[in-house]
Every structure is written in structure tokens, then in C-alpha cells.
Homo-oligomer: A and B are copies of this chain.
Amino acid sequence: MKWENFTKLESYKKLASAKTPDIKAELDGEKGALRVQAYQVPMASGMVYNYAAKAVDDQLIDLLQELADEAQLQEKYEALYNGEVINTGEKRLVLHQLTRGQLGEDVVVDGVNKRQFYKEQQDRANAFANKVHSGRIVNEKGEKFTTAVQIGIGGSDLGPRALYLSLESWAKVQGTLKMEAKFISNVDPDDASAVLRSVDLEHALFVLVSKSGTTLETLTNEAFCKDALAKAGLDPSRHMVAVTSATSPLANNPDYLDSFYIDDYIGGRYSAMSAVGGVILALAFGPEVFARIQAGAAAEDEACKEKDVRKNASMLDALIGVYERNFLGMGVTAVLPYSQALSRFPAHLQQLDMESNGKSVNRFGEPIDYKTGPVIFGEPGTNGQHSFYQLLHQGTDIIPLQFVGFRSSQMANDVLIENSTSQQKLCANVAAQIVAFACGKDDENRNKYFAGGRPSSIIVGDQLTPEALGTLLAYFENKVMFQGFVWNINSFDQEGVQLGKVLAKRVLAKDTDGALAQYSELLGI
């Protein structure tokens, strides 16, 4: 397998001199209608990726196929799921796909079959959740727990939280919301205080999540919660489980009701389908719903094995993103779900993408001379339309857009106003936005003129079900992975977060001088 810098590839040179089609012209008239039908790739869970409003044509896609082949994207994906040391910086395997399926060979480390290990941990989590739901695990008074509170930060917070919020309303309507879930993440004491105030402590079960067992924020918030439990006359060890690595101080510790294990081969931002998300989500929705999320993710992982870019949505999306980033100079991507349930999904993708691909060295630690991951931001539509879309339509930079939409609502509660339901209005708006961004509008009044040519793609599904959610999650994980392969970077470490931690410790130890001492004083420390 060849790991080469992007700019060394033959296909890089070809792409650099390729002609970028004019989206407005491509989408015009009958030809445009045919293009919308044709520029579409099926995903798992019955979803589709449509890229008709992207600045690509058949010729350019052929070049992206050449890039995919030359950069050996599929061979690298295969190497990853078969257990090669893809995380070169930390010298680790990258196995998050094994939490939800078996894509290739058995991966055995120190005699342990990792697929079986992840599955066993989830089986244990499921058994635990079932006991909590059935009242076999109860509080001091023998009463059922009603709320689960996750304590974690970064990947131990954003992914599980986004998934929970994505299905909370759906589960209520389906009658499968077993427990309400809450999340504490920030070291700001007001975060823990506010959540604790909103919870019936006596019936609250805490899920402490820290792979290393040493995360400052998480241990601090654990102490915060234990303090609150003790003050309420409750026994903290009867209200808390741990999700951690088998070698951490939190493992097999009598301070917890039980411990569930993860390992070093799953990075925080890729861990939502491991016990990091699996314990809280099995508690909240029941094991069956969590298994459906996993199934949707596994099916998309399978779909991502396809070598033909025209049949592999995640890989094609990744390649178009690279084209926009490195040849069209676009440094930001907006993720715009037309689904209120996905309100925190952009925050998860922000971590997933920016922490994975915000790098300036290649996988061998050598500086590179081309752009890597973009800034990711987003809010649900139609809300964003009444906010930052002004800049997206008429600002001086072009921002590529990633829409997500569903034909049906989750709660099936709707009203007919002026001959359309709210769901129809929602869908009409996203269809309209794609065309408005792509085609613009001429106007003699330049203030009402829209240049168009603003690229977007859309992922469409029937409804945001557990399967669709799992598919979305895996789709983006794989997109980020494919882009990392093209850029020849390591998408699985995060050295950039270390320096701040070191300096913060110095501040707390009063071991500062110069500017840092002054800033500490300014902040009252």
C-alpha cells in the first residue's frame, strides 16, 4: 500500500487543471431535471445522497475516481477494518466499525477477538439496562431509576448526546423511552449545578465515561455529582456506573455499580457505538433500539466498501469535499439538517471532522503544504434560513452546504395550514434552498441579486429512525476517514489538544510567569 502526500499524486495534477462546471448552467431546464435524477447514490437504510447541485460533472467525477483509486481509498479502508495500525501517531489500530459489525477478518489483539470484546461489553450493558428497566437494579429504597445522567466530555458527550436528542421525541411517541437522559460535560460548575437541579437525584443513575479514567473535567464533575448524592443522603456507589478502559482506575472499582469497557482502538469522537454511547442509549431507549442504530451504521459501513465512486455516497462526498477545499479554496462547510431532532448533530460532526482532519502534518509527522479539514458549523433548518443564510446566499465567500432532510416527521403530529402540512413546508423549504443557492436570481437591483453557483448536496431519508440515524453517523465517520486518506494525514489522533491542558495545569499550580501569569490574574486565579 502506498501512503503519499496528496500533491504527489498524478490525479492531483489532473484535478488542478480540470475545468469546474457552472452549477447554474448544469441545473438549467430539462437537462437540470435529468441531472437531479441521475446524480444520486443510494446509502443504507433506504437513504440517498444527491449531489446534483455540486460543481462536478461526469468528467470531474471520473477524475475523482482516479484519485480514489490512486490514493487506494478502498485498500486503506480494508486495511483499517482488518486491523492495521492506521493511527500512526499513537501506534494504534482503529476499530470503531467492529462495535457494530464484522467487515472483514477477525481482529485479534493479545489473544482477544475485538469484535467479540465490543459485543460482550454491549451485551453486558444491555443486561444491565434490562435489569434497571425491570426493577432488578434499584435505588436505596428499592425504587426504579427514572433518569440516566452521562458525565463525559468531547467524544464521551457530543456523539451520545446528539444521538439521544435525535431519538428522544421519536422514542416518546413510540413508547420506547425507558428513561430520560441528561448530560454533564463542562467543567464550568454551573453546568453540573443546573443539571443536578433539574434531576430527581434519588432516582438518578449516573454513567461516568472516561477512557483513561483521568479526564480532568469528567473526574471533577464526578466528584460534583457524588457530593450532591452524599448531601442528599444517598450512597454514590449505588447510583453510578463507569465506562472506561480495563486498565483505568475506574475499572473493577467498588465505587461503581458496574463497569463497562472500551479500549485504545476507538477514539473518543468515533466511540458513540461502543459502550461510550451504548450504556446511556440502552438505558434511555432500551437495547433493541440501540441495536437498530448499530445495524444502520453497520449497513452503511458495508456500503462504503464499494470501489465505484458513483455507487459509494460517503466516498464521493469526501472526494467532492476535497475538490472544494483544495481546488476551489473553500475553507468552511455548513451542515444543515432540516430536522429539529438533529439539532446537536452538527456539534457532533464539528468534533468528528475538525478534530480528525484539522492537521498540518502527514501520517508520518512531516509538514504538508496543502489544506486539510475545513471548519464545520450548522444549525437546523428552517431556523438557519432566518439567521446566517444571508451570508450563505449573498456573502463574499462561497460556503459548501450539506443538507439533510426526511419526508416524514418523527412524531406524526401535524397541522394543515394553507393546504400544506408543516412537514411539507419544511421539505419545500429545503428543496427551494438548494435551487436558490445553485441557480441564484438575476435582478437589476443588485441588492436583490443572487449570484448562485453555491454548491450543496442533500441526504434524504423517509424518516429519522434508529437505522437512519446509525447510517448518518457511519456515513460521516467514513467520509472523514476517506478525506484523511486523501490528505495522507492521521485522522485518529489529536495532539493539538495537549498544549492547553499542560498550560492549564501550570496555571492551577501557580507555576506561571510573563503573559500567562498576567492572563491568570486577569481571570482572577
Residues of B within 8 A of A517 (CB): 33
Residues of B within 8 A of A505 (CB): 428
Interface status of A151 (Cβ within 8 A of chain B): no
A189 partner, pick from B422, B449, B524, beta carbons under 8 A: B422
- Nearest residue (CB) in B for A371 is B396
| A504 engages B32 (CB within 8 Å) | no
| B187 engages A354 (CB within 8 Å) | no
A355 partner, pick from B380, B388, B449, B495, beta carbons under 8 A: B388
| A388 engages B376 (CB within 8 Å) | yes
| In the bound complex, CA of A216 to CA of B381 (Å) | 14
A331 partner, pick from B186, B192, B331, B411, beta carbons under 8 A: B331
| A186 engages B340 (CB within 8 Å) | yes
A339 partner, pick from B36, B190, B221, B361, beta carbons under 8 A: B190
| A358 engages B390 (CB within 8 Å) | yes
Taking the closest CB of chain B, its distance from the CB of A469, in whole angstroms, is 14
Binds B, one of A22-30, A64-72, A128-136: A22-30
Main secondary structure of the interface of A (DSSP, over half): helix
The list of the 8 closest CB pairs from A to B, nearest first, reads: A358-B391, A154-B386, A407-B524, A432-B503, A358-B395, A36-B518, A351-B387, A377-B377
Binds B, one of A278-286, A290-298, A507-515: A507-515
Docked complex: A56-74 residues within 8 A CB-CB of B: none
Interface status of A494 (Cβ within 8 A of chain B): yes
| A519 engages B434 (CB within 8 Å) | yes
Taking the closest CB of chain B, its distance from the CB of A520, in whole angstroms, is 5
Taking the closest CB of chain B, its distance from the CB of A92, in whole angstroms, is 14
Residues of B within 8 A of A219 (CB): 417
Known contacts A431-B516, A436-B499; 5 additional CB pairs below 8 A are A50-B522, A190-B409, A358-B396, A360-B394, A430-B523
How many copies of this chain sit in the oligomeric assembly?
2
Interface status of A13 (Cβ within 8 A of chain B): no
Binds B, one of A111-119, A200-208, A438-446, A473-481: A438-446
Beta-carbon contacts of A401-414 to B below 8 Å, as 1s and 0s?
A: 00001011111011
Interface status of A109 (Cβ within 8 A of chain B): no
| B354 engages A388 (CB within 8 Å) | yes
Residues of B within 8 A of A445 (CB): 365
Residues of B within 8 A of A247 (CB): none
- Nearest residue (CB) in B for A452 is B499
Given contacts A425-B508, A427-B525, A525-B424, contact A439 B515 (CB under 8 A): yes
Given contacts A436-B503, A450-B496, contact A382 B153 (CB under 8 A): yes
Residues of B within 8 A of A360 (CB): 394-396, 451
A397 partner, pick from B52, B375, B507, beta carbons under 8 A: B375
| B417 engages A340 (CB within 8 Å) | no
Residues of B within 8 A of A520 (CB): 427-428, 431
| B341 engages A424 (CB within 8 Å) | no
Q: List 30 A-B contacts (CB under 8 A).
A: A29-B514, A37-B518, A153-B382, A154-B385, A168-B194, A169-B194, A188-B409, A189-B411, A190-B341, A193-B409, A217-B386, A227-B415, A331-B331, A331-B332, A332-B332, A350-B377, A351-B386, A355-B390, A359-B395, A359-B396, A375-B388, A385-B500, A390-B496, A393-B497, A394-B496, A427-B523, A428-B520, A430-B523, A435-B516, A447-B495
| A446 engages B389 (CB within 8 Å) | no
| A496 engages B393 (CB within 8 Å) | yes
| In the bound complex, CA of A388 to CA of B375 (Å) | 8
Residues of B within 8 A of A436 (CB): 499-500, 503
Given contacts A169-B194, A413-B189, contact A447 B365 (CB under 8 A): yes
- Nearest residue (CB) in B for A379 is B347
Taking the closest CB of chain B, its distance from the CB of A225, in whole angstroms, is 10
Residues of B within 8 A of A451 (CB): 360
Interface status of A287 (Cβ within 8 A of chain B): no
| A383 engages B432 (CB within 8 Å) | no
| B500 engages A429 (CB within 8 Å) | yes
Docked complex: A148-181 residues within 8 A CB-CB of B: 153-155, 157-158, 168-169, 172
